[in-house]
Structure 1
Amino acid sequence: MILPIIMAGGSGSRLWPLSRQQFPKQFLTLLGNHSMLQTTANRLQGIVHSPALVICNEEHRFAVAEQFRLNGINNSGIILEPVGRNTAPAIALAAMLAIKNGNDPLLLVLAADHVIRDESAFCDAVKRAIPLAEQNQLVTFGIVPTAPETGYGYIKRGVLLTNELGFSVANFVEKPNLTTAQNYIATGQYYWNSGMFLFKASTYLQELALHSPDIFAACEASMLDTTHDADFIRINKQAFEICPDDSIDYAVMEKTQHAVVVPMDCGWSDVGSWSALWQIEDKDEHGNVFKGDVIGIDTNNTYVNATEKLVSIIGLDDVIVVETKDAVLVAKQSEVQQVKKVVDQLKLEQRSEWQHHREVYRPWGKYDSIDNGSRFQVKRITVKPGAKLSVQMHHHRAEHWIIVSGTAKVTNGDKDILLTENQSTYIPVGVVHALENPGKVPLELIEVQSGSYLGEDDIVRFEDRYGRVEATESK
């Protein structure tokens, strides 16, 4: 049986401002009607498999769980990495968990943020790789290149295997310059390195222990002390923190004698930039891709993503424009990789726009910070049916809640009250309070905060159904 392993980490810098550190690109809906994470899970329907096991950062856990819930697809658990240590340790955790559960499945390792246009070709390649993986080979999928791409690593194939299902791996090569990439394409012996794999859990662990024993030992120690909270699987943080940071390519695939490559021609892209997204999108007769409310005049070969406002452009060529509630990016297509410098500058200036959107998702719903000043902040809060915010208090701010729609069950000090549309309540500084939606429809309210300090860390939690009593995130 195949156990899909979906790696859903990411920093959210390459597709800023739409992606952020707390909401990276795997959670974005860039193509079609589903997020990239949901689309990754959906494309597995053409393969017989167990529910996917997901690996993500601790801070992304609720977003991952919510995306699977909205998608109506089960998972085998969500492993939470307390710190990022790259792909080799992440896959080791998944393999160890699978074997700990008494199985030795084939692990189909996938990134949550790749685009695959031809899903039937993807499934066919995976099926071709199954016999190789069952014979204790470490299969990597090589993308048949369509251009001399300089943004991808490459795999050089070796001899054709006797069963003709794939090739031995001659070697892995780093991202080349244009001339080198052109030479690679001309030989017909190179594939793009997709970062997708298929192998037995036990085979991977054996090779990891042989070639990177320090990673193996740290992951093994991390898995000796695991805790389970709903779908979440937490490992020992102290043991994992000492684990080396290394990719599966460096730690295992470049050293093993059991690496094979199976070609895959499936319309693949890792969507590493806005220009890469423009390249794979359907374009109009002028080469433009317009998302949202856009008016373009005398404009060619331009990508515009308008999420909130009307965006009008005139006389542009080869430009990227991305508009969100709190930020706008305008860049030449040839310079769009420098968006990382913008993110670095935002970090340096300690601004919030690199980290999260104005609209922030929480396990109970979301809030949108619609206005703020030196001593006040206004949020629009949406609480899902049946959801409840933590029982909490604030040292420096008071809050005024006005119900817009739905029904709110409010704890305000020693009182429990029900509020409906156009009703409100005031919560003074230091008063213990809670908010719950007991109804069947979303609860919408406006929260006006006032006080000497309005930071996200002014919160003391007493009870929380989402396990955040020790956390400091808002609400």
Structure 2
Amino acid sequence: MLHAIIMAGGSGTRFWPASRRATPKQLLPLAGERSMIQATRDRLGAVSSADRTYVITSKALVDPVCEQLPELNAANVVGEPCRRDTAPCVGLAAVLVAAEDPDAVMLVCPSDHVIEQHDRFAEAVQRGEAVLKESPDAIITFGIRPSYPAESFGYIQQGEKLAGHDAFAVKCFREKPNAETAKEYVDAGTFLWNSGIFMWRAQTILDALAKLEPEMYSHLQKIADAIGTDSYSETLQREFEAIDGKSVDYAVMERHKEVVVIEAPFDWDDVGSWQAVSRLHPHDEDGNAVVGSHIGIDSKNCIIHARPGHTIVTIDTEDLIVVQTPDATLVAPRTSEERVREAVAELSRREMTELM
């Protein structure tokens, strides 16, 4: 049966000051009235029941996630003892799912994507299930047809088309390119953005980790052996902390022999930074993307994010990001959005943890 896995352990530092340790971006309504993680669960409801949906998050976020997703079994909201990147995250999910259903198929999704076409999302998942029925050892990723030469996404090159399926063998993965290389990828027509959404049998990813990352797998297997015992919590803490963190792309995707890409039939947005607000919200007549109350006087192409009950006024401004919260305000050029992380690092250096 299909089990949905939501990866929700990120800190969302590029969305400071709205995103904080206690309420990172996946718990915020950045693209609509529902939070990012609630919207993800809504989408997954079309393909997987609540009792077969897991959230892998940080220990500190278990209670907030349970509050936002009360329909899930509390035991299915799992707190990682520490951050160890995506390969240990999906490995932990796999041992938990396999303990319940040895023949399980896993659909792994980040918690911070915007996909509004739920029917087309379900169609893509059905394509993946059809591939796995014929090729049970395959690992499936979903690619997005590029709409511009993005430098902030990884790329997947399509190889040969699979007989009888609207899917392709993966020829290679490419890391985030420079502008010139990104344009070459888009012009070639055979490259897709790597969405970070995956499908596989639980046993397939565990077998892949056993072969490609034996040390990581050894720790995961000890956790698996402790499931249902009194020592489970202690074992999870000890063994997970001992894992050398690595992304699932490096650990498995780029090294597994049978990787398949399905071009997504749905619109997709990776909500990675404040620029996403400009893509996801309407613009006023001066090109400003506004969430909340804003008065702009000769202000153009700004991103404005104000809390309820507060009005932001801008005069003679252009291409700015302005974000207001009760205890901190961000003002930055749109071209400097990647430096928001530096602000968070500076807060840490100054031990201003109440603003983190």
Structure 2 length as normaliser, TM-score?
Answer: 0.93
- Cα distance in 1, alignment partners of residues 279 and 229 from structure 2: 42
Q: Match for residue 96 of structure 1?
A: 95
Which amino acid is the alignment partner of residue 116 of structure 1?
I
Q: Deviations over 1:331-368 (max 9, x none)?
A: 1111111000100000000002442xxxxxxxxxxxxx
Which amino acid is the alignment partner of residue 281 of structure 2?
E
Q: Percent identity?
A: 37
State the secondary structure of the residue aligned to 1:34. Answer: coil
Counterparts in 2 of 1:30-109, with a 5 A limit? 30-49=30-49, 50-69=51-70, 72=71, 77-109=76-108
CA 1:74–1:223: 2 relative to 1, 3 Å: closer
8 A contact 2:206–2:217 mirrored in 1:
yes
8 A contact 1:7–1:111 mirrored in 2:
yes
Q: Does 1:128 align with 2:95?
A: no
- Cα distance in 1, alignment partners of residues 347 and 206 from structure 2: 40
State the secondary structure of the residue aligned to 1:60. Answer: helix
- Cα distance in 2, alignment partners of residues 58 and 354 from structure 1: 20
Structure 1 or 2, whichever has the larger Rg, is 1
Which amino acid is the alignment partner of residue 129 of structure 2?
I
Q: Match for residue 154 of structure 1?
A: 155
Instruction: Return the offset for 1:293.
Output: 2.1
Which amino acid is the alignment partner of residue 147 of structure 2?
T
Q: Match for residue 313 of structure 1?
A: 314
Unaligned stretches of 5+ residues in structure 1 = 356-475
Q: Match for residue 190 of structure 2?
A: 189
8 A contact 2:151–2:176 mirrored in 1:
yes
Q: Match for residue 279 of structure 1?
A: 279
Unaligned stretches of 5+ residues in structure 2 = none
- Cα distance in 1, alignment partners of residues 354 and 322 from structure 2: 17
Which amino acid is the alignment partner of residue 83 of structure 1?
C
State the secondary structure of the residue aligned to 1:236. Answer: helix
State the secondary structure of the residue aligned to 2:45. Answer: helix
8 A contact 2:18–2:325 mirrored in 1:
yes
- Cα distance in 2, alignment partners of residues 297 and 266 from structure 1: 38
Which amino acid is the alignment partner of residue 190 of structure 2?
Q
- Cα distance in 1, alignment partners of residues 76 and 235 from structure 2: 13
8 A contact 1:142–1:192 mirrored in 2:
yes
Which amino acid is the alignment partner of residue 104 of structure 1?
D
Aligned residues: 351
Q: Deviations over 1:293-328 (max 9, x none)?
A: 221122221111111522111122111110000000
Coordinate RMSD, CA, aligned: 1.9
Q: Does 1:238 align with 2:238?
A: yes
8 A contact 1:326–1:353 mirrored in 2:
no
CA 1:118–1:283: 2 relative to 1, 3 Å: farther
Which amino acid is the alignment partner of residue 244 of structure 1?
D
Q: Deviations over 1:1-28 (max 9, x none)?
A: 2100001101231100000122110000
Which amino acid is the alignment partner of residue 225 of structure 1?
A
Q: Match for residue 8 of structure 1?
A: 8
CA 1:303–1:228: 2 relative to 1, 3 Å: farther
CA 1:224–1:74: 2 relative to 1, 3 Å: closer
Instruction: Return the offset for 1:170.
Output: 0.6
State the secondary structure of the residue aligned to 1:14. Answer: helix
Q: Match for residue 221 of structure 1?
A: 222
Question: Comparing both chains, which one has the higher relative contact order based on Cα–Cα distances under 8 Å and sequence gaps of 6 or more?
Answer: 2
8 A contact 1:152–1:175 mirrored in 2:
yes
State the secondary structure of the residue aligned to 1:29. Answer: coil
Q: Which protein is richer in strand relative to its size?
A: 1
8 A contact 1:226–1:235 mirrored in 2:
no
Q: Match for residue 337 of structure 1?
A: 338
Which amino acid is the alignment partner of residue 299 of structure 1?
S
Q: Deviations over 1:368-415 (max 9, x none)?
A: xxxxxxxxxxxxxxxxxxxxxxxxxxxxxxxxxxxxxxxxxxxxxxxx
- Cα distance in 2, alignment partners of residues 201 and 8 from structure 1: 19
CA 1:235–1:67: 2 relative to 1, 3 Å: farther
Instruction: Return the offset for 1:73.
Output: 5.2
Which amino acid is the alignment partner of residue 187 of structure 2?
A
Instruction: Return the offset for 1:204.
Output: 1.1
Q: Match for residue 211 of structure 2?
A: 210
Counterparts in 2 of 1:140-179, with a 5 A limit? 140-179=141-180
Q: Match for residue 388 of structure 1?
A: none
Instruction: Return the offset for 1:122.
Output: 1.8
Q: Which protein is richer in helix relative to its size?
A: 2
8 A contact 2:143–2:195 mirrored in 1:
yes
8 A contact 2:302–2:321 mirrored in 1:
yes
State the secondary structure of the residue aligned to 1:286. Answer: coil
Off by >6 Å, runs of 4+ in structure 1: none
